[in-house]
Structure 1
Amino acid sequence: MKSTAPKPAIVLASEQYAQQLVDEFGRYERDYDLRPAKSSAQVLEITEQLQSDGIQIALYATDSVLPDEHILGAFAKWRAATPTARRIIIAPSERFTRDAPGLRHGMAKGKYDAYLLMPRGPRDEEFHNAITDLLSDWGSTVPDPEAITAKIIGAPQSQLTSEIRDFFDRMGMPTRLYAPDSEAGRRVRERFPPDVDFPLVWSMVRDPIAPRTVSDVARSIYGAPDEVDVGDAVDLAVVGAGPAGLAAAVYGASEGLSTVVLETGAIGGQAGTSSMIRNYLGFPRGISGMRLAQRARNQAIRFGAQFLTGWPALQLRPGSPHVVSTDGGEIRARSVVIANGVTYRKLGVEPLEALVGAGVNYGAALTAARDLEGQDVVVVGGGNSAGQAAIHLARFARSVRLVVRRQGLEETMSSYLIGEIAYTPRITVQTSTQVIDGGGDPGLEWLCLEDTRTKERATVRAQGLFLLLGATPECDWMPDALALDDRGFVLTGRDVPQHAWTDGLPPVDLATTVPGVFAVGDIRSGSMKRVAAASGEGSSVVPQVHRWLASAADVTTP
């Protein structure tokens, strides 16, 4: 069915090459409204007209030189007018090398998204790969996407509704939210008994359900452990599908190990909530945590790995083989890699805990950002995840206040993020500060902040609170024989207590005190808590798994 909504716009700016850019972007004309301009002032006029007509702007693509303003100054104005639009520079070949040194520092600060060479002929697919990537990133922020995989019927300020929307977004499955009394809501509602509670979920791949947890949604789509044919025992069971677990799955499956991955929620773990990771090797334009996670999942599946989403591990029983239990069945495995990561520490302010899902969010909760246009938001945390969340929220919210207990960001946040935050006028950083109270009805309306040095307090408006407060390990499902440090993280290698060493030798680097069980990523004591480091550990553990399986086979061979 053809959409009646106006097409989003791509604004193309160049004094000399405007028509060439229109011709080059002609392949997008079916889905986007192409608007040429010859100056920064004309871009602003077009922007104002599009906004008055209710048309979204997906992308600004501009020559490296404009006649009336330096391009970085122009970007600042365009960004203020349309924060959600992506911004790129397309330099002609005669100026590409000359203009680059003076402009690339702006990309490092987040002033624009890509610096590209203007195509010099047809079918420049490297150029268009960059364009489609950026348009895809923009599309993931649109509140009501055209192509959807699921409909959610429920109230927007329901905690469960928010969690389900976030799950679908993190799985790369676009959704729309419908009110219970809407036409779509009534049609889905007719499929259920009269007394059913909201939210309801209709998806393309299963019958409509009335979930009571996010796991119910995941299970309805991806099935249960006891529905998966894995034979007597798999070579490798990976518990957790964050970057470390995904890397273990990719490398394990690619090297011939029968591999099953168990994941409680959405693929990607905490990293999957990152709006844009700019310092991950091999992605010069950056990549969202969701896209990185889904690409890794697809890669592992191509090698034969099987994923079971929505099933938390309830118990690990060591043996030969090991048994990982869930409430939907058991997985028997010759080796186990623990990669279930960590959860965010609770704030512990009772009035705010009662508003989780109604303005208060643990983690980045990227779905909630789209509902906060024109609102005031507070992000609590000093790590990279908090910085990425603040930058993403600034595309929508009127103001973003980044609250940090430390005296600065330098100890805990990457330099590129600090620079981008400093460039973003909607973000203010408030150091030596903590949240001590808040409230609102039916959703969050205000917060009380306290200066940790002077104890001075101030009340601020806030319709959104995003808490990224550090790591809490979840190890209650692990056996007593598996050694933990005093904070509850899994000990591996030389960190294992000496009384658990064998013949005076510690376990190998990523091995635990349970033979055949390994730990990687954030759950491991002493890990770096970075996406690249977790991915590295996940890939590094596979040779150790191979050696363990070989040695175990030698022992059992008559």
Structure 2
Amino acid sequence: MNSRGRRPAIVLVSGEHAQHLVDEFCRYDRDYELHPATSSAEALERTRQLRDAGTQVALFVSDSELPDAHVLAAFKEWRAVVPTARRAIVTPIERFLRDAPALRAPMANGKYDAYLLLPRGPRDEEFHSAITDLLSDWGSTVPEPEAVTAKIVTPATTALTLEIRDFFDRMGMPSRTYHPDSEVGRIVRERFPPDAEYPLVWSVVRDPVEARSVADVARSIYGTPDEPSVPGVVDLVVVGAGPAGLAAAVYACSEGLSTVVLEESAIGGQAGTSSMIRNYLGFPRGISGMRLAARARNQALRFGAQFFTGWPVTRLEPGTPHVVRTEGGDVRGRAVVIACGARYRRLGVQALEARVGTGVHYGAALTAAREMEGRDVVVVGGGNSAGQAAVHLSRFARSVRVVARRAALEQTMSSYLIGEIATTPSITVHAPATVVDGGGEDALEWLTLEDGRTGERTTVDAGGLFLLLGAEPQCRWLPGSIAMDDQGFVLTGRDVPRTAWMDGLPPSDLATTVPGVFAVGDVRSGSMKRVAAASGEGASVVPLVHRWLAGLRESAGAAS
């Protein structure tokens, strides 16, 4: 880790343009050390010196042509020393089109992060926008934060502590854990009674809280959805703030609908745990799920949406208006969009369920990834979330095993992720296979894998287990009048039973069996389980809400 106050490094490598790169990167000199090198060998030696001195390397920037090595071979050597650094290739305009064809495929397979044109003049903000994106991505996932907005005081790391830190990470709130006897710990403890129980959580935006759950922390920050907070009847209540719910909120508010969003956990849903989504439209260098969710939330807030986090919905009572009940209060809405998504299925191995939070994690658990440095880890799952988690963990862990039930990842995972996994030496794939046992003394130390073809069992070292096992809907709060399929996902449109059709016609594509209640995203039966598809459904449902509200106004006008 960095020494206190030491700046992370940017290594700039070019035999021909090293000074040009230094001149371009001088704007970063206040926050980063700049280390130029004129060859791959010199950059490798400099990287080793930085690592040995305790300086983190945030970014490698290399010319597409080096005097002593192919740039991709150079990246491989540098990455072996510092696997967490981001990597960019820059090339002058006379070589840009010539070099591009051979370098595009390796970028798609994750061998480096960005292919950029060397700036030809001052204030090339397109170039620097790409560089700051890479530095921002590195800064949000690798180092301990320099400036924190939330402080967690506890004598020992527990499952709850890790959950709280993961919540803050997903909300874009840098946090740090402190021992009660530390200087910060003593200051925070002064705000609590002497018999307060750990962990204690202090946030810059709210009063300190004695946390018993992540919901306690969320509620202390974001308030309660009670009558004083949401008076009267709103146009739309969105239940769930994953990509589908966020898109619905953005488009509804931008078109003048009063909108309240209720979220049980962190903004972003399952997508919020994704370390890097590379196939989302409009983000050629990729974007983390947390940043995508944070931008969408800010966009919705700008248009006037109200968010309440930490309040699971306990019941929906259809009517005019519909009533959405939570433990913190009720929200009444003329229309409701169900966007509560799905949770990862449980593994069901008792020995491992008991270690959740102490080496075993459901989801990508971005905070826990930093704790995996030098360990062997296992990721269970065959979907995109599992692939993204494996690639992210490979930056920290000594080795990553991907364990999937299906014989081939091609059936469930995007091609770009399969390619990235295949070209990452520290990742191996075990398929078909399952995890059947595991244990350790104080934390997870080993796992037993069972081959899906032969039944042979193998015990492997494992300091971390990340479970991304597919989706279970979160629909227990819905009334029986809303039809669901055999797995508990909400039926919409033509999938609704014919007995619920009106005048021989099915409901609209995203409408449920209760008029004025719609379903979008992963909670909907037949959904694609992709971020872009969920966002599209969230946007598509808003015209249906408008149509429903217009019908209510017409009915009210006729009655009056």
Same fold? TM cut 0.5:
yes
Residue equivalent to 1:404: 404
* Structure 1 SS opposite 2:210: coil
Residue equivalent to 1:175: 175
Rounded Cα–Cα distance in structure 2 between residues aligned with 1:348 and 1:123: 56
Equivalent pair of 1:157/1:359 in contact (CA under 8 Å): no
Deviation at 1:155, TM superposition (A): 5.1
Rounded Cα–Cα distance in structure 1 between residues aligned with 2:484 and 2:217: 33
Residue equivalent to 1:257: 257
Structure 1 gaps, min length 5:
none
Residue equivalent to 1:351: 351
Equivalent pair of 2:253/2:304 in contact (CA under 8 Å): yes
Rounded Cα–Cα distance in structure 1 between residues aligned with 2:372 and 2:170: 18
Rounded Cα–Cα distance in structure 1 between residues aligned with 2:506 and 2:147: 53
Distance 1:4 1:394, change over 3 A: closer
Residue equivalent to 2:42: 42
Output one character per residue of 1:98-154: Cα deviation in whole Å (capped at 9) or x when no partner. 111111111001011001111111111111111111100000123421111111112
Output one character per residue of 1:497-524: Cα deviation in whole Å (capped at 9) or x when no partner. 0000111111000000000000000000
Residue equivalent to 1:419: 419
Rounded Cα–Cα distance in structure 2 between residues aligned with 1:96 and 1:177: 46
Q: Which moved more, 1:319-328 or 1:153-162?
A: 153-162
Equivalent pair of 1:274/1:290 in contact (CA under 8 Å): yes
* Structure 2 SS opposite 1:12: strand
Q: Which moved more, 1:380-389 or 1:92-101?
A: 92-101
Residue equivalent to 1:317: 317
Residue equivalent to 1:467: 467
Residue equivalent to 2:515: 515
Rounded Cα–Cα distance in structure 2 between residues aligned with 1:230 and 1:324: 12
Residue equivalent to 1:274: 274
RMSD of aligned alpha carbons? 1.1
Runs of 4+ in 1 over 4 A off after TM superposition: none
Equivalent pair of 2:240/2:339 in contact (CA under 8 Å): yes
Structure 2 gaps, min length 5:
none
Partner amino acid, structure 2, of 1:469: L
Q: Give the share of equivalent positions with the same residue, in percent.
A: 72
Distance 1:157 1:436, change over 3 A: farther
Equivalent pair of 1:341/1:523 in contact (CA under 8 Å): yes
Residue equivalent to 1:78: 78
Equivalent pair of 2:311/2:328 in contact (CA under 8 Å): yes
Equivalent pair of 1:335/1:516 in contact (CA under 8 Å): yes
Is 2:32 the counterpart of 1:32?
yes
Output one character per residue of 1:200-226: Cα deviation in whole Å (capped at 9) or x when no partner. 111111122111010111111111101
Residue equivalent to 1:213: 213
Rounded Cα–Cα distance in structure 2 between residues aligned with 1:214 and 1:311: 11
Rounded Cα–Cα distance in structure 2 between residues aligned with 1:307 and 1:421: 37
Rounded Cα–Cα distance in structure 1 between residues aligned with 2:119 and 2:463: 45
Equivalent pair of 1:215/1:265 in contact (CA under 8 Å): yes
Equivalent pair of 1:157/1:357 in contact (CA under 8 Å): no
Residue equivalent to 2:533: 533
Residue equivalent to 2:102: 102
* Structure 2 SS opposite 1:209: strand
Rounded Cα–Cα distance in structure 2 between residues aligned with 1:13 and 1:155: 44
Give the TM-score, by structure 2 length.
0.98
Output one character per residue of 1:508-550: Cα deviation in whole Å (capped at 9) or x when no partner. 0000000000000000000000000000000000000000110
Rounded Cα–Cα distance in structure 2 between residues aligned with 1:128 and 1:474: 42
Output one character per residue of 1:461-504: Cα deviation in whole Å (capped at 9) or x when no partner. 11100000111111110111000001100000000000001111
* Structure 2 SS opposite 1:248: helix
* Structure 2 SS opposite 1:140: helix
Output one character per residue of 1:348-374: Cα deviation in whole Å (capped at 9) or x when no partner. 111111100001000111110001100
Matched length? 556
Equivalent pair of 2:227/2:331 in contact (CA under 8 Å): no
Deviation at 1:93, TM superposition (A): 1.2
Distance 1:156 1:534, change over 3 A: farther
Residue equivalent to 1:248: 248
Deviation at 1:156, TM superposition (A): 5.5
Give the TM-score, by structure 1 length.
0.98
Partner amino acid, structure 1, of 2:219: R
Deviation at 1:10, TM superposition (A): 0.2
* Structure 2 SS opposite 1:406: coil
Equivalent pair of 1:11/1:35 in contact (CA under 8 Å): yes
Q: Which moved more, 1:442-451 or 1:340-349?
A: 442-451
Partner amino acid, structure 1, of 2:408: G
Residue equivalent to 1:391: 391
